[in-house]
Chain A
Amino acid sequence: MKRRRSPCVLCAIALGAMAALASAQEPSHDALAFARAKATSENQRVLLWLRDPNAASDEDLAKALAKPAVRKLVRYEYQRVALPVATLPATALAHRLELGDLQAPALVALDTDDVVLGTATDPEQVLEFLRAHVSAPVDARAVLARGLETAKHSERNAFVYLSAPW
């Protein structure tokens, strides 16, 4: 299969996301908002990675996330946001999400409404944790059927775009 790594022109045209190009250099100031929006459009979860550079276990969690199987799962199913603790955004976010006594480094799986699905701190459990919180798959035929129905009722065509996570 032919593969393109660049953001696609048609993604921009079809989704009204001309900012995608700029975002390659200038993602949103609010990384979580950006991830949430992307996760919504991609039927993914948000993976919040609370980092603590001063903790020895921070490196362990980083290594766990770097494992090929984990990386692939994250790429396919999550929008990842890393946030150093002891910063204002991290503190405010932890408060808003009611993370309570969660000790960084930690992973927090969120749905696109910012509902906390689960947390993990054990590097050995990362893959299992991530698998447990992926979103339910969407049926491609149902998506197409809905699109065709809308197209027919509005006397338009369906512009069908086949893509893949990679």
Chain B
Amino acid sequence: MRTRFAKDYVVVMLDVERMTDGAALAEELRQGDGGIPWLVILDGDGKAKVTSDGPDGNVGCPAQPAEIDYFMTMLDTTRRHMTDDDRAILEREMRSYGAELTRPRRDAPGGRAYPLAATAVKDGAFSAALAHLEEALQEELPPHAILANPALRLLREDPDHRIQLQALLREYAQPEPVVMVDPFEPGQRLRLVGRVVDHTAGTPLAGALVHLFHTDASGEYRPGMDAGGGAGNPRLFGFVRTDDQGAFAVDTIYPERYPNSAVPRHVHYRVLAEGYPELVSECFFDADPLLSESTRRSAPERNFPIVVLEQDEAHRTVAPLTIRVPQE
């Protein structure tokens, strides 16, 4: 959109308070007092063509539909290179963005508490951030948004607060796809598509809580702890509940092997299903050359699924995983 806009306009940002002569220049341009933000489109000789002073006052920050209407007339009277398509796209984006800006924030999932959590993390106030997140979850913030949010990454990085974050996500786990990593987490993306069933009958177990964790792209559960150390408080984790069909989905990364270790890649999980004892197990990956023949042979008996990676229609790497929960 910036490129479209730049076809006709060189943007000049003037800070009236911090720039030398900013206030005086603003007064000259406005020919008097006025609002902030305020806009003027000048030709190359500095002659004003149109300003943001519309029929209903200054629309320096056009967000309401009538304000955007006026802003578009500002462009229509000055654009020469932008095409009608450019204009249409710009208008569409502005209206969409304006609608978002003017939408009452209470309507947003998580209410006001969610952005406050991000601010608190930025300030290093992790306890406050957790309190905001709990409030946001009560305001129907989807739990999967939290681990996917890079603004909350520092909360996950801090071992003490990570434990509290885990407790929170466990409590609010839902039968919805979970994202365990934010977009900046290194590693090959992987979608675990799981199903939790009764070990004997194969019937789906609805509402089961699945807790997953694994190593990061460095093969570590926690930074600086190699050879499998730190699994008690891993950095990459997720909680999800199974749906009516016993199904769940988790977006994460392909776990790396422990550094300098012959242990093959694996994902740990714990499953709590009503009427069943807790299952603690792990799955391995068929394509891993470190997966030994003896492990392959003993896997069914030990209830260690071996996952065969696939590609879905969206070209994502998918790991179909069936978790069988024994009654005893």
Which A residues have a C-beta under 8 Å from some C-beta of B?
1-4, 6-10, 12-16, 18, 21, 24-31, 41-43, 49, 51, 53, 76-77, 81-84, 87-89, 137-141, 143-144, 146-166
Contact = CB atoms under 8 A, between A and B. Distances in A.
B40 interface: yes
Contacts of A153: 44
A24 B184 CA distance: 18
A144 B158 contact: no
B10 A154 contact: yes
A12 B25 CA distance: 24
B5 to A, nearest CB: 6
B36 A14 contact: no
- Name which of B1, B98, B122, B150 has the most chain A CB atoms within 10 A of its CB: B122
Interface of B: 1-3, 5-22, 25-26, 29-30, 33-46, 49, 58, 60-63, 68, 71, 78, 80-81, 90, 93-94, 97-98, 100-101, 108, 114-115, 118, 122-126, 149-151, 153-154, 157-158, 182-184, 223-224
B158 A160 contact: no
Given A27-B151, A141-B21, A163-B37, 6 more contacts: A13-B5, A27-B118, A87-B154, A141-B25, A148-B42, A151-B44
B93 A18 contact: yes
Nearest to A76: B18
Nearest to B41: A157
Nearest to B182: A29
B13 A163 contact: yes
A4 B49 CA distance: 25
Contacts of B223: 88
19 contacts: A2-B58, A9-B98, A9-B101, A10-B37, A10-B60, A16-B3, A18-B1, A42-B15, A49-B123, A137-B20, A138-B19, A148-B12, A156-B9, A156-B10, A157-B9, A159-B41, A161-B60, A164-B16, A165-B18
Contacts of A6: 61, 63, 101
Contact of B15 (A8, A24, A164): A164
Contacts of A7: 101
Contacts of A4: 37, 60-61
A147 B10 contact: yes
A147 B12 contact: yes
Nearest to A146: B12
Given A140-B22, A151-B44, A161 B17 contact: no
A145 to B, nearest CB: 9
Contacts of B149: 25-26
Contact of A13 (B30, B94, B125): B94
B94 A9 contact: yes
B82 to A, nearest CB: 10
